[in-house]
Structure 1
């Protein structure tokens, strides 16, 4: 589902300085609690920006600004069909808005100790047999044939599964790649092949994570390109030294990070399709998507959340990130014949979410609810800022991002 343009303090040009930053490690606090935000190392943030820069290198030209403004106008008018109506506009969105979101999302994943503990505990267990030498045809939920790495066909197998709803523009994919890079550093802190910037000269095949990205628009090509940017070594000069070439490695090995893109309106997903996607998920994310879903259909969005309640296993996590305050207020009811909006009731997205998961999902009020299918709210923050470091470099202006965050766990 399309996302809103971020609310922010204004554009910030990413640039380089000579200062150094410390490299903090992931920490394990009380499950779900973010006692103090730890910022993702700037070196890793720059590597994530480089994924976007290298992926779209041919598109940073004079036409880029015009396409960005066209996308911005369509989204301002809530005309998502035209805003994401062709590959050029989708690329412009991914070049302009996805990078800062990817950094913010990586920072969020980086601080969720519950997720870190859960994924680390699964290390080396039930990884399945992965064959990555061939490109395979995949059939997505919409019936359209797409191409992805051979690892993607194993998402239905015995690997950790993360389902990202509304993630076609790639921010979640790149963020998770950066987060899993840091997760390996936590799991193997004594490995000598871990460089200061987070890269490895060799990759152990100890953890396999499958990402299913669902979106109503056709982001298949862009999502796969960004995934490739995470799992392949970045381009370097042919004149680079032998040591530099030997050390050039992907952020995460291709055998450890699979992707499947599904072009699907999640609110109209057939109930028989849902178990294959959600039943074994470790984490489901709704990043700058839930408010749009609520605005599209209150009843369908509620049914989706209640379906997740029934499908997800105990211990599974649901992460919701969205615009803060009035940006995520949902109006319910019909307008008057004169177009007067005053009669419509307004509800904060957070209230609707809590009402559905913490109340409706436990009272057995519909076929998708059950008294033994409950949620625990682990983390909630009404308004947080992610601010870009002045040390970062990127070809076009990016923005700081403000958001709210809510984390739930199936009991």
Structure 2
């Protein structure tokens, strides 16, 4: 657990978040692993500082604990539209649960770097007048569902790999304010004491350089998009991208049903460019299940996903599973600090690549 530091009038209860509770259930997976430590504690602390700076007013608000309880109740009831339908809920959610997710996702991105390198888009080398860093490739990502953790994790990956990026955050919730706060914290130097040494002030750089990340926020339900609109979010199939469904796919199965979600997954094969990647991260085990038919027979999310992408033949394209883990622990180092307690998390992860003739 990350130790609590800094002022907070009313911190969140120390008991686990809904995602942590869910991850504590027994998984049907035969083997659990721990995600490798691909970032230093210094890098991880930097990401936590972005959240604590962006959401300082939220973390110290008298309403914080109440908002968290309301969000947790909605999530427990699987009322996702209610949990993610208000800006104040999203700010509280981002301050409380997105930091751990961001660190986890950053580790996941680094773990699949060899595959991400394969979809980099070359560009002319340029030299910014304010920096000596040269970046000659662009990585495009479409995040379906969720915004805060995905934004910071992707920004961290770009910083670590000295890459430019284009990120589209597609979600039905009103995330604009949250993303604006985080964007400001990623492109501006972190707050520092005016009494800091000259050397420390000189070394106080923002996470990202100017124009390193191009960002679009789209408030739409992905399942309501027609083929043309979905294609537009996927670079119109011109270049390969990575499309992420991070703790989103099971929500789609639960709220919209297996039929609509399966149709969306099938449509990806038509609108994405060849070599595009689809990354799915979700809760492991029995929590990620969807019911089908009058008898409400339950199917594991991973089984539904593989059945749609791998086992169903579709003319014109096919999917290759590059990596799959049924249960992975992401553990926070003891030395990290954040204004409220954070917990470890457990997840399943699946990575697919689209192949076209």
How does the TM-score come out when normalised to structure 2? 0.83
Q: What is the match of residue 250 of structure 2? A: 291
1:354 corresponds to 2:306: yes
Q: What is the match of residue 182 of structure 1? A: 160
Q: 1:291 Cα deviation (Å)?
A: 0.7
Q: What is the match of residue 142 of structure 2? A: 163
Give the Cα–Cα distance (whole angstroms) in 2 for the partners of residues 73 and 298 of structure 1: 24
Q: What is the match of residue 99 of structure 2? A: 99
Alpha-carbon distance change, 324 to 36 in structure 1, aligned in 2, over 3 angstroms: closer
Check conservation: 1:321, 1:403, Cα contact below 8 A.
Answer: yes
Q: What is the match of residue 181 of structure 2? A: 225
Check conservation: 1:317, 1:408, Cα contact below 8 A.
Answer: yes
Q: What is the match of residue 73 of structure 1? A: 73
Give the Cα–Cα distance (whole angstroms) in 1 for the partners of residues 317 and 297 of structure 2: 29
Counting only pairs closer than 5 Å after superposition, residues 395-410 of structure 1 correspond to structure 2 as 395-410=339-354
Q: What is the match of residue 382 of structure 1? A: 326
Give the Cα–Cα distance (whole angstroms) in 1 for the partners of residues 249 and 113 of structure 2: 23
Equivalenced residues, count: 318
Give the Cα–Cα distance (whole angstroms) in 1 for the partners of residues 252 and 34 of structure 2: 31
Counting only pairs closer than 5 Å after superposition, residues 81-120 of structure 1 correspond to structure 2 as 81-118=81-118
CA-to-partner distance for each residue in 1:19-55, whole Å, 9 max, x for gaps? xxxxxxxxxxxxxxx9983432111110001110000
Unaligned runs of 5+ in 2: 1-16, 26-32, 129-136
Alignment RMSD (CA, Å) = 2.5
Give the Cα–Cα distance (whole angstroms) in 2 for the partners of residues 243 and 74 of structure 1: 48
Q: What is the match of residue 49 of structure 2? A: 50
Which runs of at least 4 in structure 1 moved beyond 4 Å after TM superposition?
126-130
Unaligned runs of 5+ in 1: 11-33, 131-157, 185-206, 335-342, 365-369
CA-to-partner distance for each residue in 1:218-246, whole Å, 9 max, x for gaps? 11110222122122211111222222222
Give the Cα–Cα distance (whole angstroms) in 2 for the partners of residues 228 and 345 of structure 1: 46
SS in 2 for 1:249: coil
Check conservation: 2:75, 2:83, Cα contact below 8 A.
Answer: yes
Higher RCO (CA < 8 A, seq sep 6+): 2
Give the Cα–Cα distance (whole angstroms) in 1 for the partners of residues 41 and 127 of structure 2: 35
Q: 1:126 Cα deviation (Å)?
A: 5.7
Q: What is the match of residue 310 of structure 1? A: 270
Give the Cα–Cα distance (whole angstroms) in 1 for the partners of residues 123 and 18 of structure 2: 38
Alpha-carbon distance change, 314 to 126 in structure 1, aligned in 2, over 3 angstroms: farther
Give the Cα–Cα distance (whole angstroms) in 2 for the partners of residues 215 and 310 of structure 1: 21
Q: 1:254 Cα deviation (Å)?
A: 2.9
SS in 2 for 1:225: helix
Give the Cα–Cα distance (whole angstroms) in 1 for the partners of residues 138 and 124 of structure 2: 6
Give the Cα–Cα distance (whole angstroms) in 2 for the partners of residues 79 and 291 of structure 1: 13
Q: What is the match of residue 40 of structure 1? A: 39
Check conservation: 1:8, 1:400, Cα contact below 8 A.
Answer: no
Alpha-carbon distance change, 263 to 58 in structure 1, aligned in 2, over 3 angstroms: same
Give the Cα–Cα distance (whole angstroms) in 1 for the partners of residues 303 and 104 of structure 2: 23
Check conservation: 2:317, 2:354, Cα contact below 8 A.
Answer: yes
Check conservation: 2:100, 2:342, Cα contact below 8 A.
Answer: yes
Alpha-carbon distance change, 291 to 376 in structure 1, aligned in 2, over 3 angstroms: same
